[in-house]
Amino acid sequence: MSLLYTIVNIAVLVILIGLLIWMQKKHFSFTKRVFTGLGAGIVLGAILQLVYGTGSEVLTETTEWYSIVGSGYIRFLMMIVVPLVMVSIIQSIINLEKTAELGKMSAWIIGILITTTMIAALIGIGSATLFDLSADQIEAGHAENERGTMLETTLGEVENQSAPQKILNFIPSNIFLDMTGERSTSVIAVVIFSVIVGIAVLGVRRKNPEQAEMFTKIVNSLYAVVMRIVTLILRLTPYGILALMANTVASTDFAGIVELGKFVLASYVALIVMFVIHLLLVSLFGLNPFIYLRKVIPVLGFAFTSRSSAGTIPLNIQAQRNSLGIDQGIANMSASFGATMGQNGCAGIYPAMLAVMIAPTVGIDPLSPGFILQLVLIIGISSFGIAGVGGGATFAALIVLSSMNMPVALAGLLISIEAFIDMGRTALNVNGSMVSGTLTSRILKKMDVKTFNDKTAIEESSSL
């Protein structure tokens, strides 16, 4: 009987996919199709959980089949991340008029990412204090204790690395290994390698212009092919979001969310406040925040459902270049850097809130200026090299809590709501990278303001 129910559930997904295909044929905008997929996924997931119940055999089988569409889409995106980052950054550099521009671009992007992460830490501290969060208020069950033990084991691996060793991890020793995404810092390693290749081409151009010209033509051809692959994959976005959202809602532990409602509320209040600060920064640089918001929402919607900053890189670059009018090189670097460093949600708000919650349990006043200053500085420094996939926040929390001499096992108390909060954190991370690209492009006068203000640009760039 369970097989019959599973087949019916799969048929429902196929029908919804058919609806999205029909909308595409009728030339509905990309944004409308994305949000139709998002809304349909929420409704479908809620119905599945209501009818079958969390953990039921039918629901487990159904979500496994739905994962072919949802997780399959993320895998396609992850597949193109390394080729896209490599080729686009190399092309951006060889098209630069001066190599000094590369340093300025990198400095501004990284500076904005780290600064906003430190601001996010202050927002996290404020939210945790406002809602009077404390680790003592949360009851630990079997799953929470298991999670705490696992975190302590993971901490041992993290603590074995000194700060200089963590910095060394950014430098690729085997670029082919990093192309597989084996390490949490693989994306940065690929970026560094691509930058070196680009600079080398500029050097060859001065001595052997013919060879440099041949290489440039090859890179331009590769870039055209890679961007075509990106376009083909992005056409699948509405279907991927539909399946991802259905699985997420169907598998969400709503009882856990209700039980830890205060922490969930405090987390999303902090995320929303930081998101508003992003919009204020955009407006401070003379840009309309509402136009910006309208153009980035499809990207943030995917980041929310996929919980993968790295997987969002292709969408991120596409939106920055075609919808926001951001310089190609800046868009490539801000999306790549933002997936592994300065993540406002995972590396800023989350560890700050945990530290404030745990501090009283070890006799520390979380509101003392010394504690706050130390926490914000540690968060800023440790936000380098945070993995751009689900779980990056845990890694960030381990580094921050251990640096503050706090018990990391208590972070396991939030396991039941981890996925739900991580969705909002990932969306904020991605928005932070897009804001860094927008501001850097504006500061260096490399933004096409006409494209930014063109309300139809999002439709033209996203009619995939």
DSSP secondary structure string, 431-458? HHHHHHHHHHHHHTT---HHHHH-TTHH
142 in helix, strand or coil? helix
384 in helix, strand or coil? strand
Distance CA 26, CA 265 (A): 40
Amino acid making up residue 74: I
- What pLDDT was estimated at residue 257? 65
- What pLDDT was estimated at residue 142? 40
In order of 78, 191, 219, the CA distances from 87 in angstroms are 15, 10, 7
User: If you search the block for the tokens 């060793």, which residue do you land on?
Assistant: 165
Distance CA 359, CA 132 (A): 12
The gap from C-alpha 53 to its chain's centroid, in whole angstroms, comes to 30
298 in helix, strand or coil? helix
- What pLDDT was estimated at residue 462? 45
- What pLDDT was estimated at residue 307? 80
Q: What is the DSSP letter of 349?
A: I
341 in helix, strand or coil? strand
Closest CA to 333 of 437, 219, 232: 437
- Mark the ranges of the chain whose per-residue pLDDT is less than 70: 1, 97-100, 136-167, 184-185, 253-260, 385-395, 408-416, 458-464
CA 114, 116, 119, 123 torsion-angle sign: negative
* Separation of first and last alpha carbons in the chain: 40
The gap from C-alpha 398 to its chain's centroid, in whole angstroms, comes to 19
All domains of the chain in start order, with CATH? 2-462 (1.10.3860.10)
- What pLDDT was estimated at residue 98? 65
**CB distance 180 to 186 below 8 Å:** yes
pLDDT digits (tens, 9 = 90+) for 110-147: 999 999 999 999 999 999 999 888 776 555 444 444 55
**CB burial string 63-82: b at 16+ within 10 A, e below:** beebeebbbebbebbbebbb
- What pLDDT was estimated at residue 393? 67
Closest CA to 113 of 335, 423, 397, 441: 335
Distance CA 55, CA 58 (A): 8
The gap from C-alpha 293 to its chain's centroid, in whole angstroms, comes to 17
- What pLDDT was estimated at residue 386? 63
**How many residues are listed for the chain in this entry?**
464
Closest CA to 263 of 448, 393, 138: 138
